[in-house]
Homo-oligomer: A and B are copies of this chain.
C-alpha cells in the first residue's frame, strides 16, 4: 500500500487530521513549459497559495491570467519588472523560478536577499561562480535554495535509492541510465541550449552520483551527430553520446543520451549489485494489451517529460514545501550542483579531445 503514492495522497486529502500547519505563499516566475506544470500543480496543492504569477511576455501573461484568474482570485499577474515590490510582500514566503536560464541568477539572488526561500529549475545560474554566489546569498539570509533536479523525486528512482540505502542490492557494482528525448527539440532551441552535456546529461549525472553516493574520478565520452535534421550542429554539438564513469571505489557507470527517440521519452535506470539488480523501466499510459495474428501490442511509452515526470513534479513541490516549513532536510546540496557542472564539462572535453579525463575531488 505504501508504494501506491497516489493512494497515500488520497488518504492525506481525505483525512480529518490532514490540516496543514503552515500555508506557504508562492510567487511563480515564468510561464513556459516548466512554469505551466508548476502552476497547474499549485492549484490543487492545499498547503500553498499562489500570490503572484510573474512572466516577461505581456501576451503570455494575459492569456494565462484569462485562463487561470478565477482559480486563484487573490493572485496578482505581473511582469518581472515588479520583482522588487512583490518581494516586499510578506505574504510571499517562497519563490519558484522557471524563467529562461540567463535570468535565474538575478531573480534567485534578489529573492534570497529578500528572505524568500527559492525553488529554481536547473541550472541555478550560468557559471559556477554565479552558482556559488546564489548559495552564499541563501546562507547569508538563512533561507533555502533548492535546485530542482526533479528526477530525484521520480517514485521509481526514489525507490531505487531507498533500496540501495537499505542494502537490498548489497555492494553496488554498476549503474546505467538511458535518456532519449521526445519529441525532437527544435533546431532553434538546440542552437542556444548549451549543448547536450549541460542541457541533458546533467540530469543523468546527478542521478548517477546521487545513487552511487560518489563522484567519478575518470570520465570518458564518445559523441556523434547522427540525426539528419540536426546536421547543421555538426562540430558544435552531439545528438548521441555514451558516457563512462569510473569511481574511486572501482565502481562503474554508463550513460547513453539521445536528442530524439521516435517511440517516446525513453528514461531508464539500472543498478547492479552483489545481491541483485534494480531497474526503473519506462512508464506506459495504460494497461492495454492487444493480441493479434502478427503481434502482441501495447500503446507506446509516455511521450514526453510533462507526462513521464508528472508525479515527480508533484512530489518535488511537496518536498520543497516541507523544506520551507522545516520538515525536511536539504537533499540537493551546493556541492552536488557544482559537481554536476564540473562533470558535464569533463564529459564535453573527453568527447571533443578523444581522451579519458581524470577528476580530483
**Interface residues, chain A, CB within 8 Å of chain B?**
1, 3-7, 10, 13-14, 16, 18-20, 23, 33, 36-37, 40-41, 43-44, 46, 49, 60, 63, 66-68, 70-71, 73-74, 155-156, 159-160, 163, 168, 171, 173-174, 176, 180, 183, 218, 220, 222, 224-227, 240-242, 244-246, 250-254, 256, 258, 261-264, 266, 272, 274-304, 306-307, 310, 354-356
Contact B242 A254 (CB under 8 A): yes
Contact B272 A6 (CB under 8 A): no
Contact A280 B275 (CB under 8 A): no
A220 CB contacts on chain B under 8 angstroms:
220, 222, 244, 356
In angstroms, how far is the closest chain B Cβ from the Cβ of A33?
A: 6
Cβ contacts A to B, 15 pairs, < 8 Å: A1-B183, A3-B285, A3-B299, A6-B306, A7-B307, A13-B36, A19-B63, A40-B44, A43-B43, A220-B244, A224-B246, A226-B251, A262-B274, A279-B289, A292-B300
In angstroms, how far is the closest chain B Cβ from the Cβ of A100?
A: 16
Cα of A194 to Cα of B240 in the assembled complex, Å: 34
Cα of A307 to Cα of B286 in the assembled complex, Å: 13
State the number of copies, please. 4
User: Do A263 and B307 contact each other (CB < 8 Å), given the known contacts A49-B70, A246-B224, A356-B356?
Assistant: no
Contact A288 B160 (CB under 8 A): yes
Q: Closest 9 A-B residue pairs measured CB to CB?
A: A224-B250, A6-B307, A10-B306, A263-B291, A281-B287, A7-B307, A44-B44, A3-B299, A276-B292
Residue on B with the closest CB to A296? B298
In angstroms, how far is the closest chain B Cβ from the Cβ of A310?
A: 6
Contact A295 B297 (CB under 8 A): yes
Contact B291 A300 (CB under 8 A): yes
Contact B68 A46 (CB under 8 A): yes
Cα of A40 to Cα of B293 in the assembled complex, Å: 28
With a 10 A CB-CB cut-off, give which of A222, A258, A283, A354 has the most chain B CB atoms.
A222
In angstroms, how far is the closest chain B Cβ from the Cβ of A98?
A: 12
Contact B242 A285 (CB under 8 A): no
A275 CB contacts on chain B under 8 angstroms:
262, 292-293
Contact A225 B250 (CB under 8 A): yes
User: Do A262 and B6 contact each other (CB < 8 Å), given the known contacts A19-B67, A180-B272, A244-B242?
Assistant: no
In angstroms, how far is the closest chain B Cβ from the Cβ of A188?
A: 18
Cα of A218 to Cα of B20 in the assembled complex, Å: 54
From B1, B253, B282, B300, contact of A295 by CB (8 A): B300
From B71, B180, B296, B306, contact of A300 by CB (8 A): B296
A264 CB contacts on chain B under 8 angstroms:
4, 291
In angstroms, how far is the closest chain B Cβ from the Cβ of A244?
A: 5
Cα of A213 to Cα of B115 in the assembled complex, Å: 61
A258 CB contacts on chain B under 8 angstroms:
173-174, 272
A299 CB contacts on chain B under 8 angstroms:
3-4, 159, 295-296
Contact A295 B298 (CB under 8 A): yes
User: Do A300 and B293 contact each other (CB < 8 Å), given the known contacts A46-B67, A278-B288, A310-B6?
Assistant: yes
Residue on B with the closest CB to A302? B4
From B4, B16, B173, contact of A63 by CB (8 A): B16
With a 10 A CB-CB cut-off, give which of A180, A240, A286, A303 has the most chain B CB atoms.
A286
User: Do A290 and B303 contact each other (CB < 8 Å), given the known contacts A240-B252, A356-B355?
Assistant: no
Contact A263 B242 (CB under 8 A): no
